[in-house]
Amino acid sequence: MQRHESLGGAEFAPEIRYLNSASSGLLPLRAVTAVRAALDESLSYGSMGRDYFGPSAEARAAFARLLGVPADRVAIGSSVAVQSAFLAGTLPPGSEVLAPEGDFSSLVTPFAARPGITLRTVPLDELAAAVRPGTTLVAFSVVQSRDGRIADMDAVRDAARAVGARTYLDLTQAAGWLPMRVTDFDYAACGGYKWLLCPRGTAFMVFGGEHAEPWPDALHAGWAAGEDPGASCYGPVTELPATARRFDEAHANYSYAGAAQSLGLLGEIGVPAVHAHNTALAARYREGLLARGITPCPAPGSAIVSAPGIAGAADRLADAGVQVSVRDGLLRAAFHLYNSADDVDLLLDLLGSD
């Protein structure tokens, strides 16, 4: 029988059929090597290593190239929740934030928790139409975690511009596989540990892209966000960089050592190639589900496929060495560059074995 190859090739060595990138991506071998080297370096130089800012600068630049944004508009951090909380803190009292119903909690909870802000939610396909005068910010995931639906980015952007509202994207389920233009949006955050194949503890935030604007207040600036970090350790930080580095968190060194390598790999392969590979596998899986009388959730063109009525198969699949996930009662499979048609066919065979 012919063996189908993955796009990732020798960069990955999973011992199972891993179809769960929407939860967490696999680390490529080059990233694992880099993290191990950083750990070994800690034996003599501590957890910040010999060059604390080097790997993070490399990761920032690689992320910027991957998304097609200027590197000086990218900040580094630890999580989308922290970045959303920072952005919520910059909004004036009385602001209305519009978001899709059921969007990921790390994106929306900081706005819901902020006193003086109203969080209004509507179905994803009604998001653009729901923008109204008085809406301050529209926040949404480009790809929905629950079922893989892809938002109409252009329609939301145009509706927001028409009333003077700003836009905030969560790229976590999109960056790394979905070609997209983010420079037309005001803010974008991205957790790196899923499709970007980075270690946990990496996140990026894009500010304004090509639409330069006054920076928001750097509400969580610490020593690492100073123009000269070594001179910013005591007392309030008085001089901030002229770039988005003013919004950097003091980062997890090991995580960014791996991130620089993972993002470099994705840059070598290219997002268009990853997109073509991932969506072809997802289409193969959707067709196989329909052939077995299972109707997946509508999510045209997505690398994430969720289906109702079969969530109970997750444990049996895990026992057979196939890793998927269950979200909100749906069996969710996510296809990435280390997957192949053989993985899809095995999953379908197992689902059809009852």
pLDDT tens-place string over residues 184-243: 999 999 999 999 999 999 999 999 855 556 899 999 999 999 999 999 999 999 999 999
- The 10s digit of each residue's pLDDT in 26-59 is 999 999 999 999 999 999 999 999 999 999 999 9
Q: Which domains does the chain have, with CATH numbers?
A: 9-27+271-351 (3.90.1150.10), 32-268 (3.40.640.10)
Locate the DSSP E strands across the chain: 17-18, 74-77, 96-100, 118-122, 135-141, 166-170, 187-191, 203-207, 304-308, 322-323, 325-327, 330-334
pLDDT at 258 over 60: yes
Q: What angle do CA 197, 23, 287 make, to 5 degrees?
A: 100
Q: Sign of the CA dihedral 294, 299, 304, 309?
A: negative
pLDDT at position 193 is: 98
- The 10s digit of each residue's pLDDT in 308-337 is 999 999 999 999 999 999 999 999 999 999
pLDDT at position 1 is: 37
**What single-letter amino acid sits at 237?**
V
Does this model's pTM top 0.85? My answer is yes
- The 10s digit of each residue's pLDDT in 265-275 is 999 999 999 99
Place of tokens 């444990």: 315
If you average pLDDT over every residue of the chain, what do you get? 95
How many CB atoms are closer than 10 A to CB 3?
Answer: 7
